[in-house]
Amino acid sequence: MSNRTLRADDIRVFADAASAFFRATTGSQAQVRTAYLLEPQVAQTREDFVGVIELGGRFRGHVSFSAPRGMLSHILLLLGEKDYSDASHRDIVGEIANQMTGQARRHYGEALDIHPPRVLTRDEAQPPAMLSAQPFVVPLAWDGYEAQLMVAMRGA
C-alpha cells in the first residue's frame, strides 16, 4: 500500500465495522452512504462525540467516527440505559471505535499499528494533521440520524 491512494476495500473495512455495531446493538442496519473526498479547503464537520483511532506501522493516518448526541441517546434508550451523561455517550462512540479497530486488525494484520481509540467531544477534538492523501468521508445514516466516518491513511 506504499504511497498509493485508498481503495474502496480499504474504506469498506471501517464502514462495515461501524455498520455492524448498529446491526448487533440495535437490530437495525446503518446505511452506508456514498464516500467522498474531503477537499483540503473544506473544514471537516465534527459531530458532538468523536472517536479517533491513530494508525502507524506500515500505514499512517487516522480513522474517526463522529456522531450527534441524539443518535447516541437513541442507542442508549434502545439498550435500556438510564444514564444519558457524556460518559455514556462516550462509551457508545468508544465501542464503535473498538469494533473498527478489531476489524482493521483482522484485515491488515501486523502491518497496521493501531493506537487505542480516543473519544472526544466536539469542543475537545482537534482536526488531525492532513496527510499527503486526501481523507475520505463516509456518511452513515441510522434511524433519521447521520454520523460520519473519516478515513485518512496511506502507506508509510
The H-assigned helical ranges of the chain are: 8-26, 69-78, 86-108
Q: What local confidence, expressed as pLDDT, does residue 25 receive?
A: 93
The yes-or-no verdict on residue 131 having pLDDT over 60 is no
Angstrom distance (rounded) from CA 139 to CA 66: 10
In a domain, 3, yes or no: no
- Rounded to a whole number of angstroms, the distance between the first and last alpha carbons of the chain is 8
Task: Output the pLDDT for position 1.
Answer: 42
Please state the pTM of the whole predicted model: 0.86
- φ, ψ of residue 50 in degrees (nearest 5): -130, 125
- What is the per-residue pLDDT for 42? 58
**112-114 and 31-32 strand pairing:** unpaired
CATH no. for residue 140?
Answer: 3.40.1550.10
pLDDT level of residue 67 (50, 70, 90 thresholds): very high
Averaged over 127-143, what is the pLDDT?
A: 75
Residue 139 is assigned to a structural domain of this protein: yes
Longest dimension (CA), the chain: 47
Range of the domain at 91: 8-155
For 88-118, how does the pLDDT look when each residue is reduced to its tens digit (9 = 90+)? 999 999 999 999 998 888 888 887 888 888 9
Supply 114's cell numbers. 493501531
Answer yes or no: is 122 within a domain. yes
Mean pLDDT of 33-62: 80
Kindly state whether residue 2 falls inside one of the protein's structural domains: no
Q: Which range is least confidently modeled, 43-47, 111-115, 118-122?
A: 43-47
For 77, the grid coordinates are: 434508550
Instruction: Label each residue of 49-94 as H, E or C.
Output: EEEEEEEEECEEEEEEEEECHHHHHHHHHHCCCCCCCHHHHHHHHH
Tally of domains within the chain: 1
**Rounded CA separation 56/131 (Å):** 13
